[in-house]
Copies of this chain bind each other. A is one copy, B any other.
Amino acid sequence: MSEVESFFKSAFSVDNVIFGFDGGELKVLLIQRGAAPFRGKWALPGDLVYPNEDLDTAAERVLEQLTGLRGVYLEQVRTFGAVDRHPLGRVITVAYFSLIKISDFTLTPASFAQSARWHTISEVGELAFDHNEILDICLQRLQRKVRNAPVGFELLPEKFTLTELQQLYESVLNLPKNKGLDKRNFRKKILSMNVLVECAEMQEGVAHRPAKLYQFDRERYDQFVAEGYSFDI
C-alpha cells in the first residue's frame, strides 16, 4: 500500500461520462472495476493523464480505448478535487461527458476486459469514488446543454424520425411519459428552426405507417449561428 501511496502522491485523471440513447432511453456506459480500490464496483471509465498528454487528449483516449470511437462529441464539465476523494492519495479528476451514437459502439478488448455495460440512468446504483456525484453533475450539464445547443443529434443515427428526436428529449430531460412534450408543438418548433432536412427515404421495417427520416444540417446551423441565431428548446 505504501508504494501505491507514494505513486499517488499527487496525480490527475480524467473520467468520462459516456452517454448513449437506445430503446427510447438515455444510457450511460460504466465499467466494473477489476482492481482495488472499489474492486467489483461499477465506475466511470477514466485513467490517469500521461505527463505529456493534454487533458482533452486523455479523455479522447479513454473513450477510444473503450469504444473504438474517435471524433465524437466531448465536453469538459468540472474538476473534482476533494482531498479525500481517492482513498489512496491525492488525485483530482477532470470530468468529461461524451455523446455517442450507440449503434456505432463496438466492443473493444478493453471493453471486454473491463466488463463495460450500458446502464439506464435510473438503474445506476452506488458507484466507486465520487462517481455518483460526477454522473449527476454531468447529467445536469447535458440537460442544460441539450436545450440550448443542437447536441441531441449526437446521440441519434444520421437519419432519424421526429418521434425518435422527441423521445430523446423526453428521456434526457426525464419528463414523465404522459406529461411529456406536445407532439404537434414539438414538430412545429423544431422544424421552424430550419436545421433539419427531410430525407427522401422513409422508415423501414415497422409494423405501422412509416415515418419520414430527417437529418441535421450542420452547415446551415453554423451559418445561422454566425448570423446571431441561438438554438433553444
CB closest residue in chain B, given A95: B79
Which residues of B are found within 8 Å of A53, using beta-carbon distances?
Answer: 83
Assembly CA distance A42 to B49 (angstroms): 30
Say if the beta carbon of A51 comes within 8 Å of chain B: yes
Number of copies: 2
Asked whether any CB of chain B lies closer than 8 Å to the CB of A185, the reply is no
- Asked if A55 and B10 sit within 8 Å, CB to CB, the answer is no
C-alpha spacing A76/B78, complex, angstroms: 7
Q: Report A1-49 residues with CB < 8 Å from chain B CB.
A: 9-12, 49
Q: What are the residues of chain B within 8 A of A9 when measuring CB–CB?
A: 51
CB distance from A94 to the nearest CB of B (A): 5
Q: Tell me whether A90 is interfacial, beta carbon within 8 Å.
A: yes
Query: B94 near A81 (CB under 8 angstroms)?
Result: yes
Asked if A139 is at the interface of the complex by the 8 Å CB criterion, the answer is no
Contact B94 A79 (CB under 8 A): yes
Q: Is the CB of A225 closer than 8 A to any CB of chain B?
A: no
Q: Given that A55-B92, A92-B55 are known contacts, is A49 also in contact with B81, CB under 8 Å in the complex?
A: yes
Set of chain B residues within 8 Å of A199, measured between Cβ atoms: none
Whether a CB of chain B sits under 8 angstroms from the CB of A193 is no
4 new A-B contacts, CB < 8 A, other than A52-B83, A52-B90, A81-B94, are A12-B81, A49-B81, A53-B83, A54-B83
